[in-house]
Structure 1
Amino acid sequence: MSNILFVDDDPKYQGVIRDLLVHEGYAVDCASDAADGLRFFRERVYDLVISDLKMSSIDGHQFLALLRKYDDDIKVIILTGSDDEQDEIKSLDLYASEFLKKSAPIAVILKRIEHVLREKTGQRQLVLSSRYEDIEVHLKNRRVTKDGEEVDLTAREYTLLIFFLQYKNVTHTREEILKKVWRSGEAYGDLRIVDAYVKKLRQKMNLSCISSVRSVGYEWVE
């Protein structure tokens, strides 16, 4: 099941599209504006973001640019009532996967969504990397190298490294790391275990990218 974030400030239209997507078998979260959308995006993992363009405070183009700071590979469809050619050009310049008009037939909108998600599946990343630290993680065989040398990590250290590489330049609280890396709930509530594993990972791989954020948590800065 693909996870979709839908951002639109028109509650009636939002409800119509949400119901259609759910009927098609997608898991859908809805946000009423870009600020709410960013909150969802920081907390969860999505396969696709669908966003309106003309919104108060932060418009769709600004929202798309902000999304790129968190995840440069996220697929985004602009779904708008705008007929302005410049809006379409700017959206494509920001690497929107599609620019669709709300007046398009529902069948066409659903087919475009299906196409973008199929494209994402076909391009799913098999290697995570850090140019700054010269790290490569080959997800298929769980092979980790640093400076060209293979590194032997425990299962938990490996999962923690993957987490940081997937969410670079984002500050994570200890609670968030505990929730996402220790998925089974083991050690729940003991935030010191996060500090211990970050220390182990730093030492074992001689990392300088993991920065401590005082009284909050950690951030992979690159």
Structure 2
Amino acid sequence: MTQILIVEDEEKLARVLELELGYEDYQTTIATDGQRAFQLLQENQYDLVLLDIMLPGISGLEILRRYRKTNTATPILLLTARDEVHDKVSGLDLGANDYITKPFQIEELLARVRAQLRQTGPANSQQDQLSYQDLTIDLQSRDVTRNGEIIDLTPREYDLLTFLLQNKNQVFSRDQLLDKVWGFDYAGDTNVVDVYIRYIRNKIDKPFQKVTLQTVRGVGYTIKDVKQ
């Protein structure tokens, strides 16, 4: 059964999340303060974490920072207040997969949970690696290598590359990539996608004289299988 850790100090909200996720056949554990949450994360393996930013003891962002040092694969969905724009950006930069703003509709939260779990699968059956030609991504360590050489990607570059590689042969528009990689609530310029595509190409393609990320004019970007 899929294991979800709910880290939320508002006990009524935590209980609602527990009930709603239970109705969807998820197994849940609740932590109402940062110290307890971090202890549980050290002692157990979860398929997904719902993490409130404002917590007593240890803040959600600090938990996220510490946890990503040892676990870079488990999806983390931040629960944020409407005016915490800086914290949302900081959370994504620290390795959060997505965020949802309070107050939220439970249907939207459940949809985001399902989307993250579709990408990763259960913790015990998660695919270990993605490969394309001589490019390899280790989904557990988040190491990216090409021809045996380690490539240093930022968390956002890694997420974008991984998403496209997990969905090979599908063309995604800038808006779709913003939704899937940056998050549903991202309100920035779509040109940020072009910027990050260029960053990735300069790291994984240009030094090796390869072509991985392909542009489909007037549509968006894709990674296509090489025809033999």
What TM-score results when the alignment is normalised by the length of structure 1?
0.54
Q: Is 1:126 matched up with 2:128?
A: yes
Q: Is 1:53 matched up with 2:49?
A: no
| Change over 3 Å in CA distance of 1:82–1:63 after alignment to 2 | farther
Note the alpha carbon deviations across 1:17-54, whole angstroms, 9 max, x for none: 11101111100010011210111112211011111011
Task: Report the alpha carbon displacement of residue 99 of structure 1 after superposing the two structures with TM.
Answer: 1.0
**What SS class does the counterpart of residue 70 from structure 1 fall into?**
coil
Q: Is 1:93 matched up with 2:88?
A: no
Equivalent-residue separation in structure 2 for 1:102 and 1:19 (angstroms): 18
Q: Where does the alignment leave 5 or more consecutive residues of structure 2 unmatched?
A: 130-137, 139-228
The letter for the 1-side match of 2:126 is R
Note the alpha carbon deviations across 1:35-79, whole angstroms, 9 max, x for none: 101111122110111110111221111010111123122210001
Q: Superposition pairs for residues 178-197 of structure 1, below 5 Å?
A: none
Residue-pair matches, total = 128
Q: Is 1:84 matched up with 2:84?
A: yes
Q: 2:6–2:30: 8 Å Cα contact kept in structure 1?
A: yes
Aligned-pair Cα RMSD in Å:
2.0
Task: Report the alpha carbon displacement of residue 6 of structure 1 after superposing the two structures with TM.
Answer: 0.6
Q: 2:2–2:26: 8 Å Cα contact kept in structure 1?
A: yes
The letter for the 2-side match of 1:17 is L
The letter for the 2-side match of 1:120 is T
Q: Superposition pairs for residues 192-203 of structure 1, below 5 Å?
A: none
What TM-score results when the alignment is normalised by the length of structure 2?
0.53
Equivalent-residue separation in structure 2 for 1:70 and 1:32 (angstroms): 22
Q: Which residue of 2 aligns with 1:194?
A: none
The letter for the 2-side match of 1:125 is Q
Q: 2:79–2:101: 8 Å Cα contact kept in structure 1?
A: yes
Equivalent-residue separation in structure 1 for 2:39 and 2:117 (angstroms): 22
Q: Which residue of 2 aligns with 1:67?
A: 67
Equivalent-residue separation in structure 1 for 2:21 and 2:45 (angstroms): 17
Task: Report the alpha carbon displacement of residue 103 of structure 1 after superposing the two structures with TM.
Answer: 1.4
Q: Superposition pairs for residues 139-158 of structure 1, below 5 Å?
A: none
Q: Which residue of 1 aligns with 2:173?
A: none
Structure ID, larger Rg: 1
Q: Which residue of 1 aligns with 2:104?
A: 104
**What SS class does the counterpart of residue 99 from structure 1 fall into?**
strand
Q: 2:34–2:59: 8 Å Cα contact kept in structure 1?
A: yes
Equivalent-residue separation in structure 1 for 2:32 and 2:70 (angstroms): 20
Q: Where does the alignment leave 5 or more consecutive residues of structure 1 unmatched?
A: 128-135, 137-222
**What SS class does the counterpart of residue 69 from structure 1 fall into?**
coil
Task: Report the alpha carbon displacement of residue 82 of structure 1 after superposing the two structures with TM.
Answer: 3.9
Report which stretch shifted further, 80-89 or 42-51.
80-89
The letter for the 2-side match of 1:35 is Q
Q: Which residue of 2 aligns with 1:185?
A: none
Q: 2:68–2:95: 8 Å Cα contact kept in structure 1?
A: no
